[in-house]
Each structure stands twice: as structure tokens, then as C-alpha cells.
Amino acid sequence: MQAILRKLDSATDNAYISRIDKQPYFYTKWHFHPELELSHIIESTGLRFVGDSIEPFTEGDLVLVGANLPHVWKNDAVYLEPDSNLCTYAQVIQFLPECFGSDFLKLKEMENIRALFEKAKRGLRIEGETKNKAIQILSKLMEVEKGVERITLLLSLLDLIAQSREVVYLSSENFLDSYHRFESTKINEVYEYTLSHYNQKILMEDVADIANMSVSNFCKFFKNRTRKTYVQFLTEVRISFACHLLIENKKSIQQIALDCGFQNISNFNRSFRLLKKQSPLTYRKTFFG
């Protein structure tokens, strides 16, 4: 899944970017950038892909993505419909690890924040009271356009997260090293194809053709790249979309299985149990009783 290097617009005289994103849907391409990124989802739903992590996201989601870690927030299909009146709404800050100067980062007082930047290389989901406090600081930061307060607020925000135990790793430990060891653009097309066609029957020959490889070569290439088979990846994508639909509680489990590309309910139930260690019905009941 080769990501696109996305060049961010930034004011050269500012230490970091802070902005409000209001648009019909989030940026759709799997991408990375040298800046760390903290995103607070105020309005929007869909699936969040960070490294090899695939999770539903909704209002209140707060995630720190590390430098050069591939990611994308994939909105529900309804957001991309031509007549959709939906809109995404998020608070975002982006900053380089050395935004305050490389020597400043080496100070003893910055030890916790240096450690946070290392942890963020796997992506972090912030939870609990830490999330509530962080969102308060972030919202205040969005109102400050200039001055030293912009710096102090960001440092306070990072220090809060750095000292918290209410953070959850997203991507696996060795994903980033494995990912950037290879150079190719082919597999990005496979990734985009999978996200667009996960609800349909996908043959291995189809994805191998997209990568312009034989099936056997593609299977080896994909596993070397992602540390999982393509079938495992496709199943994870389908189950993640299914989890989102189960939480919405608008469709029967059988219909969700079909909508997510499974040919029969037995295969869906078996795959769901393998990944989530529980049945789809039990998963739904944890949210609705």
C-alpha cells in the first residue's frame, strides 16, 4: 500500500499549522507527510486507516499520527454521493518534529515529548479524561492566531498527551520500518481498488493485474510489503466496514454480510469471529444490549 507523499500548505513564519476542516468529505488518498498530525473529528463517520490499523471513527475521535506514517480517514459512502448534504468537520494541527528547533527538542524538559513523538510513529488514539482536556486546549488553540500563546498551548497539549496513560497504539510495532523498506507505487492502486470494491467479488487475478504482476509474484510482494496476505487485508477491510454497520444498527446481520462483500452468512460469521473473537450479534449487543 504505497502512500502518496502529500505536501502540506504552510506559512513559513509559523511553527505549525492549525485549521478547521469543513468539507463534503475528507481527503480520500492513502498518504503520508513529514509533519505529525493531531485530528479531532467533530462531525463525520467512516473508517480510519493508520498504518495497518483499520477502525471505525465517529464524532469525538482524537488521534495523533506520527511523521511519515501512512493514513487516511475514509468517509462512509453516503458522504460521496452527488446529492449528499453531509459535511465533515474537524480540528487539525500539523507540525514538524523540530518545529521549535532541533536543539530545543534535545532539552531535558522535552524528554516526555520526545518519547511521545516516538510513540506517535505507530499512531495514537487518545481516550478518557485526557481526550476531554486535550480537546479543550485544542479548541482554545484554534482561536489564537498569533503570539507566544500559540507555542505555549501546543506544548501544553503535547505534554498532556505525553504524560497520559489513556492512549492506545494503532499500528503494529514494526509496520513503519517494513513499509518504507520498499519503494513502489503499484500497490497504492490495489489499495484504492480494494476500498472502492470491497463490497463486490474480488478475484486475485484482478488485483494482480492492477499491480501488473502474476498472481504468485503479487502475493509475495504484498506480504513482504504489509506482513499479511492480500486475502487477510481484504477480510480486515470488510470486517471493519461491517463493524461500522453493526454499530449503526440499521440493517440485519445477513444484509450487512452481503453489503460487505461476503458471499454467505457462514463465511461472514467465521471471519468475524476470527478477527473480533466474538460473533456479529454479540458485537452489536455490546452497543445496544
User: From first to last of its 289 residues, what are the pLDDT tens digits of the chain?
Assistant: 445 556 555 555 678 889 999 999 998 887 888 999 999 999 999 889 898 888 889 899 999 999 988 888 988 888 888 888 999 999 999 999 888 877 888 888 889 999 999 999 999 999 999 999 999 999 999 998 788 898 999 999 999 999 999 999 998 887 776 666 554 567 677 877 888 888 899 999 999 998 889 999 999 988 887 778 999 989 988 998 898 888 887 899 999 999 999 989 999 999 999 999 999 999 888 876 5
Q: How far apart are the C-alpha atoms of 176 and 234, rounded to whole Å?
A: 20
Q: Which three cell numbers stand for residue 57?
A: 471513527
Confidence (pTM): 0.79
Q: How far is CA 130 from CA 65, 115, 140, 258, in A?
A: 17, 17, 16, 39
Q: Which three cell numbers stand for residue 41?
A: 473529528
What is the CATH code of the structural domain delimited by 182-288? 1.10.10.60
Sequence letter at residue 66: G
Q: What is the 3-state secondary structure (H, E, C) of 160-196?
A: HHHHCCCEEECCCCCHHHHHCCCCCCHHHHHHHHHHH
Q: Angle CA(83)–CA(89)–CA(93) in degrees, nearest 5?
A: 140
DSSP state of 79: G
Q: How many CB atoms lie within 10 A of CB 5?
A: 11
CA atoms within 13 A on the CB side of 2: 11
Instruction: Please say whether the structural domain 4-169 has been given the CATH code 3.30.420.40.
Output: no
Q: Domains of the chain: which residue ranges?
A: 4-169, 182-288
Per DSSP bridges, beta strands 4-5 and 31-32 are parallel
Same fold across 4-169 and 182-288: no
Per DSSP bridges, beta strands 31-32 and 53-57 are unpaired
Q: Report pLDDT for 121.
A: 93
DSSP bridge partners of 50: 53, 71
Closest alpha carbon to 61 in 3, 138, 119, 7: 138
Cβ neighbours for 229, distance < 8 A, ≥ 6 positions apart: 219, 222, 223
